[in-house]
Amino acid sequence: MSESIIHRFLNYIEIVGSLTVKLAEGAGYYFALLIESLAWIIVGPFYKQPVRIPSIFSQMMTIGIAACPIVFILSFSIGVMLAIQMIYNLKTFGAESQVVVGVALSITREFAPLITGILIAGRTGSALAAKLGTMQVNQEIDALRVMGINPVRYLVSPALLAMLIMVPILTFFSDIAGLLGGALYTGVEIGLSFSAYVDRTIAALMVGDIMQGLFKSLVFALIITLVGASNGFSVTGGAEGVGKATTRSVVLSISFIVIADMIFTYFLNR
Amino acid sequence: MQENKKNVAIEVNDLVTHYGPRKILDGINLTVSEGEIMIIMGGSGSGKSTLLRYLLGLGIPTSGSIKLLGKDITKLNANEMFELRKNMGVAFQGGALLSSMTIGENVKLPLREHTELNEKTMDIMARMKLEVVNLGGFEELMPSELSGGMIKRAAVARAIVMDPKLMFFDEPSAGLDPVVSAELDDLILRLRDAMNMTIVVVTHELDSAFKIADRITVLDRGHILMSDTVEEIKNSDNERIQSLLNRRPSNDMINADEYLSRLTGM
């Protein structure tokens, strides 16, 4: 009896140990991938293997410009939703007019980067994982390597650069869309004019509030690219493997984004 | 022997490789002379695809050396390897064309990455290579719009666009009908004759192997059984080679004790 308890206990320790090793391995892989893709951006040109500008721009188009409508719709809805909730809450204190400050701060500091990050994780992170995974399965990655085209330089670096540029821009766009949503609902509900709303928002917001959101969005861009790329590269086992990697990359990036958001919010508000 | 006079293009010494704890290749020694067509043959699981992967520098061997054009690729740094790769062309089994690009863009890709040629010159060179593989006029199509045989030929065009000295083919006739596969055989012979390439072909198609080979290397369970001319291979009295040549199922004796222990998992 006691022997089986000891046996089970040892089993648990083994599971914990192997999970730790896997975690460290994963973290190491992400970090190595980050260093390598950044290195190609910086030193690639000196080795006659630059990161191609056109591919960065085409990535920026698909990541950024094509995502604008959906970012607008979601952020606008979040803005309206926040205004509804805050007016309802502030009514208890008879302070409905303070809704402007509440919406402005929540949107710029929290909701815009978060909703943009989650959206891009579902849209671009999954696409990156699926693309790299399919290329891995079809030996296209091997083909690139034997042609002397480094897959990280050719596939990951442009995506990383495009993400680092476009996700903050989309976040800023999301700020504006969210505030617009808040303004419209507040106007209808408590009769605050649009220009008054804008004036009060500008008065309430500091540069630091917007910068905090943009800084977080940079971190999210890194997370999405690295998680998507590493899951794509590690695909084995055909079409099913690609599906698994895509799902895993979305779930992992969204989890990492929310956790990183919590950590950064804590430290940025000390 | 005529081969001894020629320069050695590929030299593999005592190559040992593992996949996890499992030993895949065990003490491989192989030389291929310049301008020679070497066929690597063997049943499934013999390690022939693995050998090709290592020849292409896609894996790090446990021990041994692989010299391509006089350079040991197990010891080269990234930059030297990058230079060497410009002299290597590979036609993968499934073609491995980038599915997001047209055939023309695919063929131009190595030129775009490794040369400073202008767009017009690259266009012309890509079309020339596509003509070599009888795919003239297909450069605007996407890989998904081509048949299996055409994709393989397009992959050959991409592989030869830098005029490599070494050319590798992975299962060129797999999944092709006899006519198309015979055309590919002719293409391989033409490439050698016209451009004096050194060509390594991994295949298990006997007809095609006998037709194009200068020499054949037979792999079996990670070992080289024999590496010789077509005649010598055909006349070999090695039982496993004859099984491979005459499509005989291998009838290994089953060890009763081992069999039982495998089944019961004890």
Mean pLDDT of B108-135: 88
Mean pLDDT, rounded, for A125-147: 91
Q: Which ipTM value was assigned to this complex?
A: 0.83
Mean pLDDT of B191-204: 87
pLDDT at A201 over 80: yes
Domain boundaries, chain A: 52-268
With bands split at pLDDT 50, 70 and 90, how would you rate the model's confidence at A253?
Answer: very high
Q: What is the percentage of chain B residues whose pLDDT exceeds 70?
A: 95
Report the alpha-carbon distance of residue A145 to residue B129 in Å, rounded. Answer: 21
Q: Nearest-CA neighbor of B93 among B28, B176, B30?
A: B176
Q: Are B63 and B24 in contact (CB under 8 A)?
A: no
First vs last Cα of chain A: how many Å apart?
52
B114 contacts on A by Cβ (under 8 Å): 148
Q: Which of A146, A149, A154 sits opposite B88 (nearest CB)?
A: A146
Q: A54 CB near a chain B CB, below 8 Å?
A: no
Name the least confident of A75-89, A108-122, B122-136.
B122-136
Rounded average pLDDT over B143-157: 87
The domains of chain B, with CATH numbers, are: 1-87+205-250 (3.40.50.300)
Interface membership of B93 toward A (CB under 8 Å):
yes
The whole-angstrom distance between B260's CA and the closest CA on chain A is: 29
pLDDT band at B236 (very low <50, low <70, confident <90, very high): confident
Closest CB to B98: pick one of A47, A140, A145: A140
pLDDT at A43: 84
CB B57 within 8 A of CB B73: yes
Strands of the sheet containing B22-33, edge to edge, are B22-33, B8-19, B63-68, B71-72
Strand partners, B67: B11, B72
DSSP B139-193: TTS-GGGS-HHHHHHHHHHHHHTT--SEEEEESTTTT--HHHHHHHHHHHHHHHH
For residue range A39-70, what is the model confidence (pLDDT) as tens digits? 888 888 887 788 888 888 988 998 888 899 99
Q: Residue A91: which pLDDT band, with cuts at 50, 70 and 90?
A: confident
Closest partner residue to A147 (CB to CB) among B93, B99, B110 is B110
Judge contact between B60 and B74, C-beta under 8 A.
Answer: yes
Give the pLDDT of residue A163. Answer: 93
The string of pLDDT tens digits covering residues A7-19 is 888 888 889 988 8
Q: Any CB–CB contact under 8 A between B163 and chain A?
A: no
Give, for B63, the enclosing helix (H) or strand (E).
Answer: strand B63-68
Looking at the predicted structure, is the pLDDT value of residue B172 above 80?
A: yes
**Mean pLDDT within B50-68:** 85
Of B58, B79, B96, nearest to A140 by CB-CB distance is B96
Residues in chain A: 270
Contact B97 A47 (CB under 8 A): no
- CA distance linking residue B255 with residue A41, whole number of Å: 58
B88 and B52 in contact (C-beta within 8 Å)? no
* pLDDT computed for residue B252 by the predictor: 64
From the list B93, B96, B114, which residue is nearest A148 (CB)? B114
For chain B, the C-alpha Rg in angstroms (whole number) is: 20
Q: Looking at residues B245-252, what average pLDDT do you find? A: 69
How far apart, in Å, are the Cα atoms of A243 and each of A133, A157, A221? 9, 23, 22
* Whether pLDDT at A191 is above 90: no
A·B CB contacts under 8 A: 54
C-beta atoms of A143 and B58 within 8 A: no
Q: Which tens digit of pLDDT belongs to each residue from B6-46? A: 688 888 888 888 887 888 888 888 888 888 889 888 877 77
For residue B98, the distance in angstroms to the closest alpha carbon of chain A comes to 6
Q: Identify the pLDDT of residue A120.
A: 93
Amino acid, single-letter form, for residue B105: E
The answer to whether residues A187 and A194 touch, using CB atoms and an 8 Å cutoff, is: yes
Q: How confident is the model at residue B250 (pLDDT cuts 50, 70, 90)?
A: low
pLDDT at position B3 over 60 = no
CA distance B97 to chain A (A): 6
- Tally the residues of chain B: 266
Q: Output the pLDDT for position B6.
A: 66
- Other beta carbons within 10 Å of B141: 15
Cβ of A49 within 8 Å of Cβ of B98? The answer is no
> Is residue B1 over pLDDT 50?
no
pLDDT band at A172; cut points 50, 70, 90: very high
* pLDDT at position B2: 45
Of A108-117, A164-173, B32-41, least confident by mean pLDDT is: B32-41
Please tell me which of A171-180, B93-102, B181-190, B198-207 the model is most confident about, judged by mean pLDDT: A171-180
User: Is A49 an interface residue toward B (CB < 8 Å)?
Assistant: yes
Mean of per-residue pLDDT scores for chain A? 89
| pLDDT for position B66 | 87
Angstrom distances, CA of residue B187 to CA of B90, B161, B181, B182, B193: 14, 15, 10, 9, 10
Closest to B32 in 3D by CA, of B70, B59, B81: B70
| Tokens describing residue B120 | 């017009």
Contact: B82, A142; criterion CB under 8 Å? no
Q: Nearest residue of B to residue A153 by CA position?
A: B113
Q: What is the mean pLDDT of residues A219-247?
A: 91
